[in-house]
Amino acid sequence: MANHFSALKRARQTERRTARNRANRSRLRTALRSLRESLAKGDKQAAEQSFRQTVSALDKAIQKGVIHENTASRYKSRLSARLTKVGTK
């Protein structure tokens, strides 16, 4: 364990940040999972609504520094392509 006051403070800050990042990442993964499930079911209406929520979660994850902007862009692109495929079937 840390011996200096500054090291103790850094340990406390790291705990808080880790918990915050874990919560944000979990929220993002849940949104992605719900969208993928609605796409798998083929429910266009639910998928469109879930897509909007997922894009919002991705944008918030970028702001919080949980994922990189290019990663989010790649997710959005692939998911929107899958969403348009559901509409054509």
Angle at 44 between CA 39 and CA 45, to 5 degrees: 120
Indicate the residue type of 89. Answer: K
Q: HSE-up of 41 (CA within 13 Å, CB side)?
A: 13
CATH at residue 58: 1.20.58.110
Quote the number of domains for the chain.
1
pLDDT digits (tens, 9 = 90+) for 24-48: 999 999 999 999 999 999 889 999 9
Q: What is the mean pLDDT of each run of 10 residues along the chain (89 residues)?
A: 86 95 95 94 91 95 94 96 84
* Domain span holding position 60: 5-88
Q: What is the pTM of this model?
A: 0.82
